[in-house]
Structure 1
Amino acid sequence: MSSHERAVASLISQLALSFDGAVLGAALAYVAFRTIFRFKATSTALRKIRGAPHCHISDLRSLLDDTTDSADEPIVVIRGAVVARSAADGPSLKSLMNNALVSQESGDKAVIIQRTQTYIYHEWRGLFGWTSDLRAIIGRSWNKKESTSMRTVPFVLIEGGKWPQSDFVIVNMNGLKHPLPLTTVYHQLHPINASPYTLLQALFGHEFPVGLLDEEKILPVGKEISAVGICGLNNGVPEIKACRDLPFFLTDMTKEQMLLDLAFKTKILFWSGIVLGSLSVGILGYAFVRNWNKWKERRLRRIQESTNAASDDSTSQIDLEEETGDVPDGELCVICLMRRRRSAFIPCGHMVCCQHCAISVERELVPKCPVCRMTIRSSVRIYAS
């Protein structure tokens, strides 16, 4: 870890532990709430997928006919092979193999082709040391290092091995934000040749690209996948679309595998929420008690300072009265030798100091009489009649 990284880590730790850990406790509380919300969403998805029927594509029509009276469209789990279809010709079995995409790298037929190009950067401080971690973080957020392009064609799912005699279900990809079960067919790192501008970037400590990672993923025709979502009829043809409350839509996993995955995530999120919530409550409670005690100490200190200031004012007024006129040498304070002796120490009883000096002696860590060196408890002002 470089010196700048250590400095940033130290700054973050100091910020997290500020206010006796209140910031860290608040951050843990936020993470705990997020974990609880994710646990709730995951447990809801687990309950929905567990209750969703796992039926064959040929049985979808009868299932949808049975649920026509229901207001909500059912959530089902189906498994079938991917086959392209023509959007212009409509959902006819004659057009199921038309309009398939062809991968440029592998030559496979596919219905989805995703091409991603990622620039790999190298960064160092340079000769002039002008690079700072904060600017590097901001620069990385501004600089686009990855570009992704995706091509898709409409496709359907059929029962494997039964085409073209089998029924099919249309896959609705509109507004899809779920991950796709893509297969990587091309993965290559291309080096980038240095240029005079690259040398100038390195000289001043700026990051510069050293390689380009080119990757292509496809959803090939004929691949067996599962689809879990809302199923309905579109012009008399079964259609399945994604459900926002479910983390899956198209996946390689079976229903049993999805249930196991969600059950495991539910347990992890449940115990993580309990642990993080307990830590946040403990840290926030500790920070509250510490800051409350500090506030009481500051308040008591201010009261004492105001009391001392008032006593100092009264003492200064008394001192001004005592300084008027001539004071015999035998009645001068043994400490300041300026004011008249007015205070007697307890328990020794020596009256050798003025009130101002007696108060100063009382405020010492171990107050002692300046004559007999006995530890004193307090002093009392003596008034002459």
Structure 2
Amino acid sequence: MSSQEQALISLLSQLALSFDGAVFGLGVAYVAFRSIRKFTVTSAALQKISHAPSISVSDLRSLLTETDSDADGYSDDGKIVIVRGTVDANSAVYGSWTNLWPGVLVSRESGDKGVVLQRTQTCIYNEWKGLFGWTSDVRAILTRSWRQQESTSLRKVPFVLIDVGRQSNTEYVVVSMDGSTHPLPLTTIYHKLEPINSPPYTFLQALFGHEYPIGLLDEEKILPLGKDINAVGLCSLRNGIAEIKSCNDLPYFLSDLSKDQMIVDLSFKAKLLFWSGIVLGTMSVGIIGYAIVRNWNKWKQWKQHREIQQQRQTIIEADSDDDVGDVPDGQLCVICLMRRRRSVFIPCGHLVCCQGCAMSVESEVAPKCPVCRQEIRDSVRIFES
């Protein structure tokens, strides 16, 4: 392999190592872009919630029958409103006498009744890594995402919202859960951790750092009847019945927060996302700019080093016939021991190196004479008359 090929391979390896700053800068820029994008979404949701009217269930019908279709928050799917109401079953408004609790979910553990029932089973694994714990860390990186540690089942039934604190159910709004992925204000009604009997070979699993289950956590959460909540979404009249459904542009659907609390929460998130986007964007520009300048300087250094190597190779080839041959031992270069001494170091004046080795010494960061170890500034080639 020639010296030019070695220099090219060295340059490519250095550039590959130097790209870590550029890659890191691009990663920070991507996070900044995501923050600004989330800021625009959060700001739009904040504006919609700020203009949305906050009314009770009884006042909802009069709002929906208004003919002003150009009002803020109005679309073909309905008007964005915030409705405060109490969760109740459909039987409370339709007056079904066939069943005492039709359309209501009942917890099999506590017996509580609700309209949304979520049951979660979480398998808890040991945290001791054993004598060979590093194997469990490597295995966890490769298999943790594939193994199912938690199973969740969610059941929903149709329900309505009625006026808070009123016994009359003449006014209500139907809550449509179709297509909603928003978090629900569920209440935990059952929480129990049961231990799992260990198999006979558990000791070996623990010794070699293999994870094994030690407990099973059972949880049940419901949206209970009689809970006062706020529903934020698109409300419209369907066959004379008020219905509200979730809006994908809003981060809330059913929530315990009031309108003012939602505005404060979204304002804080918007400010945090805005400034994080500005700070991360500035950092990414600085990191990428520093990586570009550093790589440019390295390229220039490599170019200068390549020119010096080419000059050295030219000089060596020109003087090879004269310098290589029957050279007395007292006139051999003290570095390569192959060619005649041709260069004098300045300022010490020692004539101990050939032209090629003298140029190699000069290209060092702190060049020193190989004999007296004095710092040198230059070298002069000596010609015999």
| TM-score interval, smaller chain | 0.7 to 0.9
Equivalent position to 2:103, from 70, 80, 99: 99
Q: Which amino acid in the other structure matches residue 257 of structure 2? A: M
The 10-residue stretch of structure 1 (63-72 or 164-173) with the greater mean CA deviation from structure 2:
63-72
CA distance in 2, matches of 1:116, 1:63: 40
Closer/same/farther in 2, CA of residues 311 and 164 from structure 1, 3 Å limit: same
Write out per-residue CA displacement over residues 103-161 of structure 1, whole angstroms, 9 at most, x where no aligned residue: 22332221011111111101444456672423212222111111111121100111123
Closer/same/farther in 2, CA of residues 272 and 95 from structure 1, 3 Å limit: farther
1:303 is the counterpart of 2:307: yes
1:225-240 matched pairs, under 5 angstroms: 225-240=229-244
1:37 is the counterpart of 2:37: yes
Larger Rg: 1
CA contact (8 A) 1:123 1:206 kept: no
Closer/same/farther in 2, CA of residues 149 and 230 from structure 1, 3 Å limit: same
Equivalent position to 1:357, from 354, 358, 365: 354
SS at match of 2:135: coil
CA contact (8 A) 2:136 2:209 kept: no
Q: How far apart are 1:181 and its partner, in Å?
A: 0.5
Q: Which amino acid in the other structure matches residue 161 of structure 2? A: L
Tell me the C-alpha RMSD between the 2 structures.
3.5
SS at match of 1:142: coil
CA distance in 2, matches of 1:152, 1:340: 91
Aligned to 2:283: 279
CA distance in 1, matches of 2:225, 2:243: 19
CA distance in 2, matches of 1:195, 1:162: 57
User: How many residues align structurally?
Assistant: 351
CA distance in 2, matches of 1:339, 1:223: 95
Closer/same/farther in 2, CA of residues 102 and 357 from structure 1, 3 Å limit: closer
CA distance in 1, matches of 2:25, 2:377: 48
Aligned to 2:86: 81
CA distance in 1, matches of 2:195, 2:380: 87
Unmatched 5+ residue regions in structure 2?
1-16, 362-366
- Give every structure 1 segment of 4 or more consecutive aligned residues whose post-TM-superposition deviation is greater than 6 Å: 337-344
Closer/same/farther in 2, CA of residues 49 and 383 from structure 1, 3 Å limit: same
Aligned to 1:137: 141
CA contact (8 A) 1:20 1:290 kept: no
Unmatched 5+ residue regions in structure 1?
1-16
SS at match of 1:176: coil
Q: Which amino acid in the other structure matches residue 147 of structure 1? A: S
Aligned to 1:335: 331
Closer/same/farther in 2, CA of residues 204 and 67 from structure 1, 3 Å limit: farther
Q: Which amino acid in the other structure matches residue 217 of structure 1? A: K
Write out per-residue CA displacement over residues 145-192 of structure 1, whole angstroms, 9 at most, x where no aligned residue: 111111211001111232434311111101111000001111111111
Aligned to 2:23: 23
Write out per-residue CA displacement over residues 1-46 of structure 1, whole angstroms, 9 at most, x where no aligned residue: xxxxxxxxxxxxxxxx964633332222222221111111111111
Aligned to 2:10: none
Aligned to 1:14: none
Tell me the percent identity.
53
CA distance in 1, matches of 2:381, 2:90: 105
Write out per-residue CA displacement over residues 79-123 of structure 1, whole angstroms, 9 at most, x where no aligned residue: 10001116xxxx953249632122223322210111111111014
Q: How far apart are 1:200 and its partner, in Å?
A: 4.4
Aligned to 1:61: 61
Q: TM-score normalized by structure 1?
A: 0.79
CA distance in 2, matches of 1:383, 1:54: 102
SS at match of 1:213: strand
CA distance in 2, matches of 1:100, 1:123: 40
Write out per-residue CA displacement over residues 336-356 of structure 1, whole angstroms, 9 at most, x where no aligned residue: 3999999686999x9x979x8
Q: Which amino acid in the other structure matches residue 194 of structure 2? A: H
Closer/same/farther in 2, CA of residues 341 and 120 from structure 1, 3 Å limit: closer
Q: How far apart are 1:319 and its partner, in Å?
A: 3.9
Aligned to 1:223: 227
SS at match of 1:196: coil
SS at match of 2:179: coil
1:86-235 matched pairs, under 5 angstroms: 93-95=94-96, 98-126=102-130, 131-235=135-239
CA distance in 2, matches of 1:103, 1:168: 26
CA distance in 1, matches of 2:378, 2:216: 82
Aligned to 1:6: none
Closer/same/farther in 2, CA of residues 133 and 122 from structure 1, 3 Å limit: same
Closer/same/farther in 2, CA of residues 95 and 268 from structure 1, 3 Å limit: farther
Q: Which amino acid in the other structure matches residue 157 of structure 2? A: V
Q: How far apart are 1:271 and its partner, in Å?
A: 1.7
SS at match of 2:311: helix
CA contact (8 A) 2:187 2:223 kept: yes
CA distance in 2, matches of 1:49, 1:59: 18
Q: How far apart are 1:278 and its partner, in Å?
A: 2.1
